[in-house]
Structure 1
Amino acid sequence: MTLKYRRADFPDDFLFGVSTSAYQIEGHAYGGAGSTHWDTFAATPGNVVNAENGDIACDHYHRWSEDLDLIADGGFDVYRFSASWARVMPDGRSVNPEGLDFYDRLVEGMLERGIKPALTLYHWELPSALSDLGGWRNRDIAGWFADYAQALMARIGDRLWSTATINEFWCVSWLSHFLGHHAPGLRDIRAASRAIHHVLLAHGTATQAMRAAGHDNLGAVFNLEHSEPADASPEARAAADRYDAIYNGAFLGPVFNRAYPEPLLDGIAPHLPDDWQDDMDTIATPVDWAGINYYTRKLIAPAPGPFPSLAEVEGPLPKTYMGWEIYPDGLGQFLRRVARDHTGSLPLYVTENGMAAPDAFQDGQVDDADRIGYFNGHLAQVRGAIDDGIPVKGYFAWSLMDNYEWAFGYDKRFGMVHVDFDSLERTPKASYHAFKHALSRD
């Protein structure tokens, strides 16, 4: 099976890339990295499948050169990677020279191979020392995060193509502090409300600090999930609107429109910090681009009980190995909606899109035709949005390689490159070869 689209089917300046994140691939036990709240979350029984952690992961810390060769050989233009705050600053405040050296080598390796380095400052591994101080519930984290951004950017910022502050605000705040599925594993509306606000404030504060230091092409990455009412009732429509406000509007609204959506404020206003409105100008500090991570849609029904009073209903569409519905139309709808309601002419990038699959390894190969089909459906939506005048400038597949999938451990494989988690051997899958063919300039 092949990709239906080739490089020539997109504008000349359109960029193709792959995405990863530090804790999921690097091997956090190496290079002087400090403890993170993910280490302690994984060490708590019941939080992570098989109590697996990121100590070794894909051993990218030692195998980064091999991994960059895979990106270059695949014909990808951009490598969207993240840095670990706890590698750069093991206690959250003091710099670890080994950590800076690693990211310096990594960026140099990209440039030597003609790959554009796209940094994400935070992809969820908060230093344990800062978690002990309240983490994202503590307003001081905005300043701590800006200090971290400045320390890392002072070393590698002059060679980056782009920098994003936060990956997936919703996951950092709601998923982790209200639903409890990610570190720190809280289920508390007040904690979640403050985490929402403080992660946004940290984004704005760090963006201002980086801009003042002369860095440019700064953005943020939003994970967006399409929601539809489970039935035709007004109650289901209202529940779907609340879900949309929590998942999407909670972060797009403040960053681009200086406002939280009303269906969200109905639930979190009593728990927000005092004078939170005064932070909106900082939160809305202008960015140069916006990233959209998109995977699935949800059907939403009303449910009894306190805010948010909703429940997810299983939908009828084909599903990935994560149990997520495959709904490419949602990506096209979001690209149009974000441009219309929030970003205007600002460049948009699809910074993550991909699927988990069982990925049987047979005779030294992985024929992941279902993943190629997934990419085909979503690339068609990107192409359609461009045809409608939406300024989509790039598409970055998730993920380069199989990795540590957070609370799911090593069971869920999203990669275009198979990783044997015993030998750590890398084997490109059919989807990797499909992209390599599609991106060839021959």
Structure 2
Amino acid sequence: MSVSPSSSASSPDRPVRVALLGCGVVGTEVARLLTRDAAELARRVGSPLELVGIAVRRPERERDLDVPPELFTTDAAGLVSRGDIDVVIEVIGGIEPARELILSALEHGASVVTANKALLAEDAGTLYEAAEKAERDLAFEAAVAGAIPIVRPLRESLAGDAVERVLGIVNGTTNFVLDAMTTTGAGFAEALDEAQRLGYAEADPTADIEGFDAASKAAILAGLAFHTRVSIGDVHREGITDVTSADVASANEMGCVVKLLAICEKIDTPDGPAISARVHPAMIPDSHPLASVHGAYNAVFVESESAGQLMFYGPGAGGAPTASAVLGDVVSVARNRVRGVVGPGESTHADLEVLDMGQARTRYHIAIDVDDRAGVLATVAHAFAEFDVSIKTVRQEGHGSDAQLVIVTHEADDAALSATVTALRGLEMVRDVSSVMRVEGVS
């Protein structure tokens, strides 16, 4: 059933009824803030917020939460389909049953606030279409970079501008690991162990260190920034497991640091503008604002035509920061319910082509283990020239069996660089191409 906003506007003396799906770290904090700050939230919304149900898998589990036990239920599907819920908050994560629960909530007249980056990156179109059909809000500030406000600025504040590039550190685990490797000299395994010990990394850190989490966020950011539907399948993804202490040291020698970056940018092609979305480790100069983002913090750097350069910085994960973003959306959505209006929906009017990684252009840092003999440099340089990859700097490190050429290129297509690396590995005098890393933010 679909209910129009005007027919379901809440009066100031009628509570806005809220249901919560999930009561883990984030959900518990959301419920705590809803009850603890009820009076202040009511003033901000213009009507009380009433928590009427919390769907969990284990209602008997002890929780540090002062809410009536009868609010807990294992019947999430029944909760969202009641028909008297105004706002459903989804913080269970994953694809299913989250997708079906959100769709049911919208169908039964509720607006939805979600922190589910994986679902949005995989199937945002279905959710947007359901929200539009139901004339309800779909809000997801908490899905990208925790407490950092970036979804609303891209969706609303910069709606009159032309965003050209979004460059972000959007995963706290990988930033902690790479920062520890940079500041303490730790190896990757040692830095990851420390991240797990401190609670910055999961017992199974695959989603973080292999870049899946950041790729989901990149898809969301690219879609918002460039008014184009982008899914996680459109995002090129590389993790940080191959980053070595030698890479970090080489970056330091260049006046750079290594970060896992989500990069979404508009690119001019012979057929018109297109976009690229990618996640991978990269060297960035110490002078770049993102280079100073330490520990488990996140930051998103936006370049736009009129506003210029903007940076959004703060804690990117954790119960309280993420709950802050969730509650911000709840207040905004609840206000809309009180007024009988709906906020902005999906914007895909640009419908730009999403380029594959081979068409992305950047600079590269390549370490090549070579035989220490005459003619090596000329042969290696010829391989770069063959694929039209221009060399900016070259230096030799070590001698004899430790000889290595370290080359930094000018900007080149990723496909051309890949072909160059393949050719280098086929040379008799090249023992190995031991490292290839992109260099961003260098003029």
Q: Report the TM-score, using the length of structure 1 for normalisation.
A: 0.27
Q: Report the TM-score, using the length of structure 2 for normalisation.
A: 0.27
Which structure's CA Rg is the greater one? 2
